[in-house]
Amino acid sequence: MDSTAALLWGVLFGSLGLGFFMYGKKQKAIVPLVCGLALMVYPYFIANTIALVVVGLLLTAIPYFIKL
* Full domain range(s) for residue 39: 4-65
pTM: 0.88
Which among 61, 65, 53 is positioned nearest to 13, based on CA atoms? Answer: 53
Answer yes or no: is pLDDT of 67 > 60: yes
The candidate with the shortest Cα–Cα distance to 20, out of 38, 11, 33, is 33
Whether residue 17 is predicted with pLDDT greater than 60 in this model: the reply is yes
End-to-end CA distance of the chain: 34
Alpha carbons 64 and 3: distance in angstroms, whole number: 30
Q: Give how many domains the chain has, as a whole number.
A: 1
Reported as a single tens digit per residue, the pLDDT across 25-57 is 999 999 999 999 999 999 999 989 999 999 999
pLDDT at 64 over 80: yes
Looking at residue 49, what is its pLDDT? 93
